[in-house]
A and B are shown apart, each in its own frame.
Chain A
Amino acid sequence: MTWIVRNLWLIPALPALAAGLTALAKRHQRRYSAALAIGAMGLSFLLSLCAFSQVMLAITHGQPSRQVVNFPWFEFGNQWLKLGWMLDPLTAIMLVMVTFVGLLIFIYSTGYMAHDDNFTRFFCFLSLFAAAMLGVIIANSLLLLFMCWELVGLTSYLLIGFWYHKPSAAAAAKKAFITTRIGDLAFLVGMLWLFSQAGTLLFYDQGAGCLEHSALTAMVAHLTGIGMAASTGIALLIFAGAVGKSGQVPLHVWLPDAMEGPTPVSALIHAATMVAAGVFLVARVYPLMAAHSDAASALSATTALQVVTWIGAITAVFAALIAVAQNDIKRILAYSTVSQLGYMMMGLGVGGVAVGMFHLITHAFFKSLLFMGAGSVIHGCHEEQDIRRMGGLSKLMPVTFATYAVGMLALCGFPLFFSGFWSKDAILHAAMGWSISRIPFYLGSLGALLTAFYMTRQVYYVFFGTSRLASHHEATPAAHTAPPTPHESPSSMTFPLVLLASCAILLGAVGTPAWPWFDSFLSGEAPIFAFAGFLEHGILPVMLTSTLIVFLGLALGWWFYGRQPILSADLPDALEQLQPGIFRVLQNKFYVDELYEHTVIRWNSALATFSDWLDRWVWNGVVMTVSNLVLGLSWLARSTDTYLVNTSFDEGCNTVTTSGKLLARLQSGRTQSYLRLVGIAFAALVLVLIWSARS
Chain B
Amino acid sequence: MNLTPSISSLTVVPLVGALAVLALGSNRKLARGIALAFAFLALIFTLLLWHRFNPASGTLQLEEIHAWIPVLGVQYHVGADGLSLLMLLLSTLVVPMSMAASWNIQEKPSLYFALILLLEAGLIGTFTALNFFHWFLFWELSLIPAFFLIRLWGGSQRATAATQFFLYTMVGSVTLLLSFLALFLYTGIFDFITLGELARSGHLLQSLATAPHGTAATADRFALLICLGALLGFAVKVPIVPFHTWLPATYAEAPTGTTMLLTGTMSKMGLYGLIRILLPIFYLQMRSMRTPLLWLAVATIVLSAYAALVQKDLKRIFAYSSINHLGYCLLGIFSILKFTGDDPAMLSEKAAALSGVFLQMFNHGLTAATLFWFVALLEKRSGGLRGLNDFGGLRKVATVFAGLMGMALFSSLGLPGLNGFIGEFLIFKGVFPLAGWAASLSTLGLLLTAIFLLGLIQRVFAGPLNPSFAHMPDLTTAERLSLFPPLALMVALGIYPQLVLGVINSTVLHLVQQLR
Point out residues on A near B: beta carbons under 8 Å. 73-79, 143, 146-148, 150-151, 154, 157, 161, 164-167, 169-171, 173-174, 177-178, 181-182, 185, 188-189, 192-193, 195-196, 199, 604-605, 607-612, 614-615, 618-620, 622-623, 627
Contacts and interface: CB of A to CB of B under 8 A. Distances in A.
B59 interface: no
Interface stretch (B87-95, B112-120, B274-282, B424-432): B424-432
Given A178-B447, A185-B446, 7 more contacts: A75-B502, A151-B417, A181-B450, A192-B429, A193-B432, A611-B307, A615-B248
Contacts of A605: 309-310
Contact of B458 (A75, A170, A185, A620): A170
B236 to A, nearest CB: 11
Given A77-B348, A151-B417, A165-B463, A174 B245 contact: no
Given A619-B242, A619-B245, A178 B352 contact: no
Contacts of B425: 143
Contacts of B501: 74-76
B226 interface: no
A79 B501 CA distance: 12
A610 B241 contact: no
Nearest to A118: B399
Contacts of B443: 185, 188-189
Given A147-B417, A150-B415, A164-B395, A77 B508 contact: yes
B208 interface: no
22 contacts: A73-B497, A73-B498, A75-B502, A76-B351, A78-B351, A150-B416, A164-B461, A165-B463, A165-B464, A165-B465, A166-B463, A167-B464, A174-B454, A185-B447, A192-B432, A605-B310, A607-B306, A608-B307, A615-B303, A618-B242, A619-B244, A623-B168
Contact of A75 (B349, B444, B498): B498
A185 to B, nearest CB: 5
Most buried by A among B351, B417, B439, B461: B417
Interface of B: 167-168, 241-245, 248, 302-304, 306-307, 309-311, 344-345, 347-352, 355-356, 393, 395-396, 410, 415-417, 421-422, 425-426, 428-429, 432-433, 436, 439-440, 443-444, 446-447, 450-451, 454-455, 457-458, 461-465, 496-498, 501-502, 505, 508-509, 512
Nearest to A630: B167
Contacts of A182: 447
Given A78-B509, A165-B393, A612 B416 contact: no
Nearest to B452: A608
Given A154-B410, A170-B462, A620 B447 contact: no
Given A174-B455, A193-B432, A196-B432, A74 B498 contact: yes
A560 B501 CA distance: 66
Q: Which 5 A-B pairs have the closest CB atoms?
A: A77-B351, A147-B416, A170-B462, A611-B306, A608-B309
B415 A151 contact: yes
A193 B432 CA distance: 7
Contacts of B345: 199
B310 A188 contact: no
B439 A151 contact: no
A199 B349 CA distance: 10
Given A151-B417, A189-B443, A77 B458 contact: no
Contacts of A79: 348
B512 to A, nearest CB: 7
Q: Which of A164, A169, A614 has the most B CB atoms < 10 Å from its CB?
A: A164
Contacts of A620: 245
Contacts of B242: 618-619, 622
Q: Is the interface of A mostly helix, strand, loop or mixed?
A: helix
Contacts of A611: 302-304, 306-307, 309-310
B428 A188 contact: yes
A78 B346 CA distance: 11
Nearest to A601: B451
Contacts of B310: 605, 608-609, 611-612
A147 B416 CA distance: 5
B454 A77 contact: no
Contacts of B498: 73-75
Contacts of A147: 416-417, 421
A464 to B, nearest CB: 38
Nearest to A621: B245
Contact of A154 (B355, B415, B461, B502): B415
Contacts of A188: 428, 443, 446
Given A74-B497, A75-B502, A77-B355, A612 B439 contact: no
Contacts of B421: 147, 150
Contacts of A178: 447, 450-451, 454
A77 B306 contact: no
Contact of A608 (B306, B426, B432, B497): B306
A393 B52 CA distance: 74
B439 A192 contact: yes
A161 B454 CA distance: 11
B463 A612 contact: no
Nearest to A164: B462
B248 A76 contact: no
Nearest to A626: B171
B454 A177 contact: yes
Given A75-B502, A79-B348, A174-B454, A612 B393 contact: no
B417 A177 contact: no
Nearest to B454: A174
A492 B401 CA distance: 34
B306 A610 contact: yes
Contacts of B508: 76-77
A111 to B, nearest CB: 24
A77 B303 contact: no
B432 A614 contact: no
A74 B462 contact: no
Contacts of B303: 611, 614-615
Nearest to B309: A608
A670 B306 CA distance: 79
A189 B439 contact: yes
Contacts of B244: 615, 619
Contacts of B454: 157, 173-174, 177-178
A646 B463 CA distance: 68
A151 B416 contact: yes
Given A174-B458, A605-B310, A611-B306, A76 B417 contact: no
